[in-house]
Structure 1
Amino acid sequence: MQNADFVLPEAPPEHAVIARFHLGGGDLGVSDQWSLVFAAERSARAAVSSSGVGEVDGNEFGGGEVAIFAYGPDAKALYRVMEPHLRALPFRPAHVVLRYGEPAEDVASEHIDL
């Protein structure tokens, strides 16, 4: 009996949705803003999880803004599920970057103003 070599297909590159919102009240915003961000993040996480398009990975506060990060195999599909939850946040200016692949200087991306 011969050992067969199996070649596993490469995993598709991971796409990203990165939403950034300007906050008032200093470097980290204020607690009322945090509550709204956490609620939007929870609702987006539930919607993304139930749709099976990826995962909402978390947030990062600093520099007077907050960023919400999500990853999956199709940035457009991920954004379609997240969009109503992101648009519900009142902080502006705001934008979303859809990244079509792993982080690199030459990776395709799309900028969407909210």
Structure 2
Amino acid sequence: MQNALFDLPETPSEHAVIARFRLGGDDFGDPDQRSLVFAAERSMGAAVKAADVGEVDGNEFGGGEVVIFAYGPDAEALYRVMERDLRALPFRPAHAVLRYGEPADDVPTERIEL
């Protein structure tokens, strides 16, 4: 659909997959746990890029957990590509939130237990 005022194509909204894992050890997890997360993140990043569904945008460690962020135009497609690596991480409890739109919007989300 075109924006009638400026006759420009609309850009698709940015969906997200935000995965949260509880870690052990200190606030940032143990070194072995961080290594597993980094390896999974590299694997997911390559798979997401190859499938052309978005990008894995990084992580945030702290408070005894890690959060992995990924963005693209279709949260479900993004999650399908990432799911194997997310479920392979051994840290629990864990879940992923699929966000179907921009964060500033009141958009639907779906929580998936991992």
Could you say which TM-score interval applies, normalised by the shorter chain?
over 0.9
Aligned to 1:90: 90
1:50 is aligned to 2:50: yes
Aligned to 1:107: 107
2:7 and 2:64 map into 1 onto residues whose CA distance is 47
Moved >4 Å (runs of 4+): none
Q: Encode CA deviations 1:28-78: one digit per residue, 9 max, x unaligned.
A: 111000000000000000000000000000000011100000000000000
Taking every aligned residue pair, what percent have the same amino acid on both sides? 76
In 2 relative to 1, CA 68–9 (structure 1 residues): closer, same or farther, beyond 3 Å?
A: same
Q: TM-score, normalised by structure 2?
A: 0.93
> 1:74 is aligned with what amino acid?
D
Aligned to 2:81: 81
Find the residue that maps to 1:81 and give its secondary structure. Answer: helix
Q: TM-score, normalised by structure 1?
A: 0.93
* Structure 1: gaps of 5 or more residues: none
Aligned to 2:40: 40
1:55 and 1:108 map into 2 onto residues whose CA distance is 20
Find the residue that maps to 1:87 and give its secondary structure. Answer: helix
State the superposition RMSD in angstroms: 1.3
2:8 and 2:19 map into 1 onto residues whose CA distance is 33
Asked which structure has the greater CA Rg, the reply is: 1
Alignment of 1:7-46 (within 5 A): 7-46=7-46
